[in-house]
Amino acid sequence: MKIVLAALNAKYVHSNLAVYDLEAYSKCKLEKELRSEIKPDISVREYTINHNLEQIMQSLYKEEASLLAFSCYIWNISEILNICRELKKVSPKLLIWLGGPEVSYDSEKVLKNNSFIDGVIVGEGEETFYELIKMYCELEAVLDKEEQSKEENSKEDHNKEVYDKKQYPDNSCVEDISNNIGLNDYEKEFAKGKERYLSNIPGITYRASDGRIVKNLPRPLLPLDEIPFIYEDLSRFENKILYYESSRGCPFSCSYCLSSIDKSVRFRSLDKVFDELSYFMSNKVRQVKFIDRTFNCDKKRAREIWRYLKDNDNGITNYHFEIAADLIEDEDISIFSKMRPGLIQLEIGLQTTNLRTIKEIRRTMDIEKLKNNMNAIRRMRNIHQHLDLIAGLPYEDYESFVRSFNDAYELKPDQLQLGFLKVLKGSYMEEQVKEYNLIYSDEQPYEVLSTKWISYGEILKLKRVEEMVELYYNSAMFEHVLLYMESFFDTPFEMYESMGKYYEDNGFVDIGLRREDKYAALREFFKERFEDAIMIFDSLLTFDYYLRENAKTRPKWRKDSMIEKADYNNFFKSGGTDELYLAKEGYDSKAAARSMHIEPIIAESASWITGKDYSDVKTEWLYAVFDYNSRDPLTKASDYNIITHL
């Protein structure tokens, strides 16, 4: 029997931990419990939502599988249902099962609305999937053996063999198979036996032969140490982010999150975690992303893992954690302070600073402690911080969200994620839809359209702000010019709101501007409002332009270099200046000229770059010397020096 576990990921660099867990767990148990002649062939196939759906269907059809199981999430459910619908037309005997959070909480509705789906694995899937495929394999083996036997024996001998209990496993499901059985009869007996077995498998919803949809009792949860480590063969994950799970569940009750439904938390033993992290280190993988819902809900355990990573750092691997920043303590800060820049990155869910909203969404959070911890971490300049906000929460109107945005922006995270409420199936938020006058999209990702506190028009304005934040703030390519621009607006939100309106009015929305065009659009926005300050703006914009890339051509707004070519070349030939002496051992002037860039900047703009006071500098122009061979490990910006003369 051939079985395919399929995943439809959001991006190529993603991998689906769930299907690999199911594969590893099932293979491990089947190896011990099934006879070799009936062991199934289990494989994993991963695609992305950017693939052509018909090509995915063709690929899966060519697998010639007996059973296909898809892992379903909010971002891929529509595509998966489309693929399965068409695949069932051309492979009517193919058994199609779904699993994952997007189908677990309304599994009966999924089967009712999609006749081409045979069943749904509800909740945690490892043991359930194993029992399911074991059942199919044993049943198929029994009926195949009987089919073969009936062709070789007389009716009397055949019937005698049918009722010989020694030929079958305990609780044999085959009842009466007559001689001269045809294909249709065989299928009927397979369905009858399957149904007997399915009724005894916890954690599934399935379609009975009489058309009824049956939902079995839930599956007890597994100890996490029973889940095999899936990364023994790293070649399967080449150029992929490696996802790692050291715990399941969450102790908190946030109303918008599915993790709040099961408040129990299970942990993988630290001995196993350390062994597996050591494996990542010894293989020098680039990034390991922990998918624990709140990694530091057990503060002591989290601290032990962070200390282990610090003490055993290989200088290469980066680790990503989703944390509650208000649970960070002084001992954690001390550990962080000794970490290599880029060793870890932290994703922090702020969501809102509206206290009434926080209470309504059942969130537990000490905002002041969160702010203090984030500021302390930022000052160390060695850990990337990603901060999340959610628009569309209860009691959060437009003005309230503006305050939450400005509060979050003041923390200066490396990335600020402005998201929109998703009404997830099975969440408490879904139960409150009528109470909140919550209108959301019927199609994935079930995103908020309006509530009794915020209108659809206001949501659209926030969409433009989100786009501007993503283009300009989160890209990290406009750091210094944005800092300067903020001084012209009352609040950061006002600046991004104005930028969003400018983009919309000028038709720049959703057209995919090239890198230089993004700089040019920002310049035109600023010039239209503050033309008197354009020289300093241009100086900072050009500085940011060259900070990350040794561009071969001058940007449109700075065609003049203000540096004579002879002076430029002589700077490197002479090994720099007293201010910036370059000619150390092994210095190659030609190599230096290729890997470095000199850019004139207005002296007044230099203070926005370095934070220093240049008011006593006698010359109007200074020079920024960029070294692209040396970069900040967090931001990837080149190193630079500001000098007064060449």
Most confident residue range from 138-147, 190-199, 266-275, 543-552: 266-275
Phi-psi region of 432 (alpha: psi -120 to 50; beta: other; left: phi over 0): alpha
Question: Is 107's pLDDT higher than 80?
Answer: yes
Backbone angles phi, psi at 80, to 5 degrees: -65, -45
> Residue 194's pLDDT band (boundaries 50, 70, 90)?
confident
> What is the tens place of the pLDDT at every residue in 341-399?
999 999 999 999 999 999 999 998 999 999 999 999 999 999 999 999 999 999 999 99
**How far, CA to CA in Å, does 123 sit from each of 44, 102, 119, 388, 415?**
20, 10, 13, 26, 32
Rounded Cα distance between 534 and 605, Å, is: 11
Percent of the chain with pLDDT over 70: 91
Residue 53: which of 80, 16, 74, 73 has the closest Cα?
A: 80
pLDDT score at 169: 43
> What is the tens place of the pLDDT at every residue in 474-508?
999 999 999 999 999 999 999 999 999 999 999 88
Question: Is 629's pLDDT higher than 50?
Answer: yes
pLDDT score at 210: 82
Question: Could you tell me if 231 and 237 are in contact, meaning their C-beta atoms sit under 8 angstroms apart?
Answer: yes
> Residue 1's pLDDT band (boundaries 50, 70, 90)?
confident
pLDDT score at 283: 96
In sequence order, the 6+-apart residues with CB closer than 8 A to the CB of 160 are none
User: Which amino acid is located at 110 in the chain?
Assistant: V
Rounded Cα distance between 590 and 377, Å, is: 40
Mean pLDDT across the chain, nearest whole number?
90
| Residue 447 per-residue DSSP state | B
> Residue 168's pLDDT band (boundaries 50, 70, 90)?
very low
Six-digit token string for 553: 């051509």
Tell me the helices (H) and strands (E) count for the chain, helix number first.
23, 20
